Structure 1
Amino acid sequence: MADALVACEQFGTVLEALLEAGYNAFSCDIEPAQHRHKNRHITDDVRNHLDAGWDLLVVAHPPCTRNCRSGRRWLSGPGKMTPPKKLPKGRTWESLIEEFEAGVELFSACWNAPVPHIAVENPEMHDLAKDRMPDDLPKPQIVQPHQFGHPEFKATGLYLKNLPSLVPTNQLKVPEKGSDEWKAWNRVHRLPPGPERSIERSRFFPGIAQAMANQWKPITEGTAQRIVA
């Protein structure tokens, strides 16, 4: 049985899929668990638990506000890493840089963890973030929820180490652009500003989680068996 850690997850979608597939899995987040497997949740900074002998590390949704392409505009002054003409309301340049550095450090720590198989979910990064990433970081596999049975659009980047790209399991027919159905599929992108927006945008899709658990199980279990032997 392979041991798996799901980092930066409090809602348990990936954890549930891994447990159903037969992993000895735990979740870890600085926030308490919001799922039913409370005894399998570690409330702590995941960096304190990366060297515990895991076979698989899945980083479900690390902070990425300043590192993804949509966050580039706030670091868009002349040259590189200089203040933009206008800052977000109520924010300082120093706080933006702090968030950027925190995102880079967490991503790098997880990617460089002593774990044989690693998957980090993160949107495609802007140039400033890419400049700070580990040299062996590949381009992400971009998947969509509708490839795994969910009628929604939300490009999800998967940075994979010693893991194969996911194969779609239930491709839905994409509706005509501009139609009412197409607009409904864009639910995540059309969410209004508010305290629930970031939570909803960070929720993982069960179909993708199930594909991860089932398609990667033979590889991660093979590693676990070789280590035991």
Structure 2
Amino acid sequence: MRVLIACEFSGIVRDAFIAKGHDAMSCDLLPTERPGPHHQGEVELILEDGWDMMIAFPPCTYLCNSGVCHLYMGGRKQAENSPINTERWDKMEAAAYFFNMILNRDCNKIAVENPIMHGFATKIIGRKPDQYVQPYQFGHKISKKTGLWLRNLPLLVPTKIVEPEWIYYKNGGRCSPDHYKNAFSKTRGKSRSITYQGIADCMAATWSEDLT
């Protein structure tokens, strides 16, 4: 079957489906990080190429809950005296419309992934995810709650639940080592957008059964 992995430069999900015998191709504005079928360019140019399934990882910078405070001037959360950051708001709306463009595409089987969204983005998109997954449910000692919006695809079932590791701050807070490691990196967003191998393998195994 023909599977498009949209907004992926790592090739991890693409290669997981190729390993299951499918004709899979990734697509991103960036080049692929590992050899394999890849379209470098806008995904809109290949959306109508007769895909049986599409799995997409649209950018989350302006949609995720962790960035909602930046929708208001000074980085403040919504308050009566906090004017909105119009530039950031416009980018959020554009990101949500791009997300919806993929989610509502004319393709029989679709999965769209994104971290926990703030309410403004969820309202534009029109519905919450069908499922949340965590890397530590698939063999990685990392906590990063991620939503899956699904069409005609079954939910993922955890394959290997492990105890997540944490780094603790003096103020009592905590974060995942993966998050801490990339906190001050210029490539933080890129690094955190890569799908964990355990989740990719489960996607390929679960949704391949639905394709055969």
What TM-score does the superposition give when structure 2 sets the normalisation length?
Answer: 0.86
User: Helix, strand or coil for the counterpart of 1:146?
Assistant: helix
Structure 1 unaligned regions, length at least 5: 84-92, 222-229
> Which has the higher relative contact order, 1 or 2, with Cα contacts under 8 A spaced 6 or more apart?
1
Q: 2:51 aligns with which of 27, 50, 54?
A: 54
Instruction: Determine the C-alpha separation between the residues in 2 that align with 1:82 and 1:214.
Output: 47
Instruction: Determine the C-alpha separation between the residues in 2 that align with 1:65 and 1:187.
Output: 20
Q: Which residue of 2 aligns with 1:34?
A: 33
Q: Tell me whether 1:144 sits opposite 2:134 in the alignment.
A: yes
Which runs of structure 2 are paired with 1:55-134 in the superposition (5 Å)? 55-59=52-56, 61-75=57-71, 76-78=77-79, 82-83=83-84, 93-134=85-126
- In the TM superposition, what is the alpha-carbon distance from 1:170 to its structure 2 partner? 1.3
Instruction: Determine the C-alpha separation between the residues in 2 that align with 1:166 and 1:217.
Output: 12
Q: 1:216 aligns with which of 191, 207, 212?
A: 207
Q: 1:207 aligns with which of 188, 195, 198?
A: 198
Q: Which residue of 2 aligns with 1:197?
A: 188
Q: 2:161 aligns with which of 153, 171, 181?
A: 171
Identity of counterpart residues, as a percentage? 35
- In the TM superposition, what is the alpha-carbon distance from 1:145 to its structure 2 partner? 0.9
Instruction: Determine the C-alpha separation between the residues in 1 that align with 2:196 and 2:98.
Output: 22
- In the TM superposition, what is the alpha-carbon distance from 1:77 to its structure 2 partner? 4.3
Tell me: CA distance 1:100–1:175, structure 2 relative to 1, closer, same or farther (3 Å). Answer: closer
Query: Quick one: which amino acid aligns to residue 63 of structure 1?
Result: P
- In the TM superposition, what is the alpha-carbon distance from 1:10 to its structure 2 partner? 0.6
- In the TM superposition, what is the alpha-carbon distance from 1:67 to its structure 2 partner? 1.2
Tell me: CA distance 1:174–1:70, structure 2 relative to 1, closer, same or farther (3 Å). Answer: closer
User: Helix, strand or coil for the counterpart of 1:150?
Assistant: coil
Instruction: Determine the C-alpha separation between the residues in 2 that align with 1:17 and 1:185.
Output: 29
